[in-house]
Chain A
């Protein structure tokens, strides 16, 4: 390896020996591509003319406080994920691979991978927990419509982490022809670094845009954290600025319940899916099940750079419950005419809290995705009265 792949004590490359050469090849291809003006130009062309970059920065007109939304929901594919699948897709071409594999939870990364598979002409196979396949039929059909094969994973809890396990197993046998297009800034080196660099465009644009609109930096930058790719992409260009960086994890049914996905807040250091990072686990090191209303935050590990940003104190991590996120989701729709993803609603929920506490500050929120995928679930949950009036008043005060 040419880079050490560490973020403080976290990160590294904890994979079976057989995968090390594949990761070395990927690192070399990535580093060479970063220095290749033609690669950069081709990626930028696709980001602009295919994906729709730059995405706008929208100041909320009606929600209290000074909240600016970085609108990754308007990107082709409906979320920030398109940024990095285009980058990895071009790298896979560069390495002359002919097949892409990916894991997906609710299907967003699977759809993004199917997009790039169709665009760049790869055979594409998506691993998805059998339970998720059942719950997310529409996304399964989207992937199939774009030519991808969806493989239901029946091992373990049949969700995202099991889909990652299965993709890694496939890759152990298929790496000569296959690129594993990992969906977030987690996993073994070089994925956390590479995915951050492909997502850095979010923060780079947002920084320029907010300086244009506000004539200064924001006071706080807030993003949701599941694996952490949209957050690290938004944070990256603000790391050296005097700006508060806040990551919002899924507090699910409450941080003190067993049903959450708050890895940084409630996990302990461990090694999962190739990296040393925070992991939700029992005292024996068995990985525990997670819960969030938002499938994209329902993951028992987290990108290792976030683990480092937490331990170094550079970023702060907080939780937003299912109910808080759902409330923010509803408020954004009612007040601003934007239906966001449940994941992004976690970031917004914390922004609303902060705006209530410190009304004068400027807050930049990563609106990582649009909410079409969540509308049916929202209808059911709002009908069941998950957002109560007392909470609503407290948040909107």
Chain B
């Protein structure tokens, strides 16, 4: 069983809390400690960004994090090593990579190397379902699960394609825009229904999760979990405690499980 399936089974209805960190932000050593901190805070799954110079799907907070990592001289190989060492410390937590197509293309064997480092899934932010096929084929061969994005404006036909191509979870975006913009998403129950109808992997909401009420609203919409990114990365940039923040949001998923 994949680590994602095992996680969903273990949670049995309790919402999954995904914590996002940019690898190498602000430097390699701190980054390794931050990965441990979000797990300590109770994150059920870890999403890690591999920094790219031109992250068009990201808002200013994540962009700045990528820039900090790149300015610190962090390379793709360092990121893969951070993942490998986290995997050595923790054999169970699902680790998903979020990055951009040019990073994947530039390193021959990037997908295989990611799988070997112990990552469980790969989301390429600028590869929509329309262009995903060749990447998915390579991921299947390497044994890493493809994750695709479903947005409120994604037609049912594309959701079916996402159902056929992806595994792990479906990264749902309920409002237009990029990561980390201030207004919280209106967590669209209709999108979650359509994702489930299409038979796509478990829907998880990303974008706009920074407060307990966002987690609650996202889970109330029927999502199987949430991913919190910019709010955590903001704390990293201010060198503030991420573990207790993760703990406060994760707590909501436990309280909310009764509603399921």
Contacts and interface: CB of A to CB of B under 8 A. Distances in A.
Given A156-B67, A271-B126, A17 B151 contact: yes
A17 B76 contact: no
27 contacts: A1-B130, A13-B128, A14-B127, A14-B131, A16-B149, A18-B151, A18-B154, A18-B176, A20-B154, A21-B155, A155-B64, A156-B53, A156-B63, A168-B56, A169-B59, A169-B177, A172-B176, A173-B181, A176-B176, A271-B105, A273-B56, A274-B126, A281-B106, A284-B107, A285-B52, A285-B103, A286-B70
A285 B76 contact: yes
Contacts of A162: 54
Given A16-B149, A172-B177, A285-B105, 8 more contacts: A16-B126, A17-B128, A169-B57, A271-B105, A283-B107, A284-B106, A285-B107, A287-B53
A261 to B, nearest CB: 16
A176 B125 CA distance: 21
Contact of A172 (B100, B103, B178): B178
A213 interface: no
Q: Which 6 A-B pairs have the closest CB atoms?
A: A285-B106, A173-B177, A271-B101, A18-B151, A17-B149, A17-B128
Interface in B147-195: 148-151, 153-155, 158, 173, 175-178, 181
A127 to B, nearest CB: 12
Interface in B123-138: 125-131
Contacts of A172: 57, 176-178
A202 interface: no
B126 A284 contact: no
Nearest to A12: B131
A370 to B, nearest CB: 31
B54 A17 contact: no
A121 to B, nearest CB: 24
Interface string A33-58: 00000000000000000000000000
A165 interface: yes
Size bracket of the A interface: 35 or more
Contact of B149 (A18, A21, A274): A18
Interface string A232-269: 00000000000000000000000000000000000001
A271 B175 CA distance: 26
B185 to A, nearest CB: 12
A286 B52 contact: yes
B92 interface: no
Given A14-B126, A270-B105, A20 B76 contact: no
Contacts of A169: 56-57, 59, 177-178
Contacts of B76: 284-285
B128 A20 contact: yes
B237 interface: no
Contacts of B158: 17, 20
B60 interface: yes
A81 interface: no
B54 A287 contact: yes
Interface string B232-243: 000000000000
B12 interface: no
B102 interface: yes
A281 B53 CA distance: 10
Contacts of B150: 17
A349 interface: no
A174 interface: yes
A162 B66 CA distance: 14
B75 interface: yes
User: Chain A at the B interface: mostly helix, strand, loop or mixed?
Assistant: mixed
A1 B105 CA distance: 24
Interface string B186-228: 0000000000000000000000000000000000000000000
A15 interface: yes
Contact of A15 (B60, B67, B126, B176): B126
Contacts of A270: 102, 105-106
Interface string A346-371: 00000000000000000000000000
A279 B54 CA distance: 12
Contacts of B102: 270-272, 279, 281, 285, 287
A7 interface: no
A287 B158 CA distance: 30
Contacts of B59: 169
Nearest to B125: A16
Contacts of B60: 155
Contacts of A1: 130
B224 to A, nearest CB: 19
A175 interface: yes
Contacts of A13: 128, 130-131
Given A17-B149, A270-B106, A286-B70, A165 B154 contact: no
A18 B53 contact: no
Contacts of A173: 175-178, 181
Given A13-B128, A16-B149, A17-B149, A272 B54 contact: yes
A17, A161, A285, A286: most-surrounded residue (chain B CB, <10 A) = A17
Contacts of A161: 54
A11 to B, nearest CB: 11
Nearest to A288: B53
Contacts of A274: 126
A284 B105 contact: no
Contacts of B55: 165
A13 B129 CA distance: 10
